[in-house]
Amino acid sequence: MTVDFALGIDVGGTKIAAGLVDGRGRIRNDKRVATPVGLGAYAVIDAIISCAREVIGKTPRSDVVGVGLGVPSQVDFDRQEVEFSELIPFVGTDVRTLVSSELGLTVTMDNDANLAALGERRFGAAREVDDFIMLTLGTGVGSGLFLAGQLYRGAHGLAGEIGHTTIDLRGPGCLCGGSGHFETLFQEAQTPAERALVLAAGLANLINTFNPRLIIIGGGIGNGDHRLVHDAAQRATQQSMAGRKHLQIIPTTLGDDAGVLGGAALAFAEADERERFVR
């Protein structure tokens, strides 16, 4: 029996992770390499392609339904173009087409936090949850919004930038041009207690705005510091309104693989959509 695979690729500020995933969410082969951030967009794209080729190995291309590529950028999902990118200068570069042409596979690109949300929805803690938020804490702060059973991308695919919401009007400047943002305050917090305080404020904003049933915290920091998640969750529920009722705030169940599994989930979903269109 032929087994279909999808290739999930998660590009972060420090590492690129790729995994060949089957339909049950089992990673059959994977690889991680450092992200050559300082060398420019094309060096990062070359690293993505090299990593992907190694993971695919001798697997026939006909057994791979597609590629889901997550990038730490704002992505216009319909046009498959990067609109804004702090960490890697992807704006103006046709990332999707370059990766697709080199791999000989259909590639769909999205924001990395959106993919982490898709991974939790298909393979993780949110499989039966229609309203949840995936919050990623790593080199930056991002979020994927799953509302009423659908990933919410906004009018042009740019929604979910919780890291760039303002917490302190007099706060430090951000690379995006704003000031006092959740992401900057979290990065500049000096102690675990300060970090928990900033994270709690961000969580309370999410709770009061979206009334989710579940908030999952992942990313390099969120996945590795469960005490931070616990302390911030307690503070956030104290600061929130009625939306705190029946709410769970938990660390990711997929660990460091959330982005890779989310990329695979996107690739499987896009392949299913193409098949329905043909029919």
Kindly report, residue by residue over 184-204, the tens digit of the pLDDT. Answer: 999 898 899 999 999 999 999
Decide if pLDDT at 45 tops 90.
Answer: yes
What does the block give as tokens for 21? 């995933």
| Res. 3 pLDDT band, cuts 50 70 90 | low
Largest CA-CA distance found in the chain, in angstroms, rounded: 61
Q: Whole-angstrom Cα distance, residue 190 to residue 179?
A: 18
Class of domain 5-114+258-278: alpha beta
CA angle 46–48–163, rounded 5-degree value:
120
What pTM was estimated for this model as a whole?
A: 0.92
Angle between helices 258-278 and 112-123 (to 10 degrees): 80
Give the model's pLDDT for residue 139: 77
Residue 31: φ, ψ to 5°: -155, 150
Q: Does the CA dihedral 161-163-169-173 come out positive or negative?
A: negative
Q: Is residue 155 within 8 Å of 226, Cβ to Cβ?
A: no
Mean pLDDT confidence for 263-270 = 94
Mean pLDDT confidence for 136-146 = 90
Give the model's pLDDT for residue 117: 96
Identify the helix (H) or strand (E) that includes residue 18.
strand 15-22
* Helix ranges restricted to H, the chain: 41-56, 95-103, 112-123, 182-188, 192-210, 219-224, 226-239, 258-278
Q: Whole-angstrom Cα distance, residue 168 to residue 166?
A: 6
- Detail the DSSP E strand segments found in 44-181: 64-71, 74-76, 81-84, 107-111, 132-137, 141-147, 150-152
Q: Whole-angstrom Cα distance, residue 39 to residue 35?
A: 9
Q: CB 92: neighbour CB atoms within 10 A?
A: 9
Class of domain 127-253: alpha beta
Kindly report, residue by residue over 201-239, the tens digit of the pLDDT. Answer: 999 999 999 999 999 999 888 877 888 888 999 889 888
CATH code 3.30.420.40 region(s) in the chain: 5-114+258-278, 127-253
CA distances from 260 to 4, 100, 167, 208 (A): 16, 17, 31, 30
Mean pLDDT confidence for 117-127 = 95
- Residue whose entry in the numeric block shows the structure tokens 């291309």: 61
Identify the helix (H) or strand (E) that includes residue 8.
strand 5-11
What does the block give as tokens for 153? 């991308």
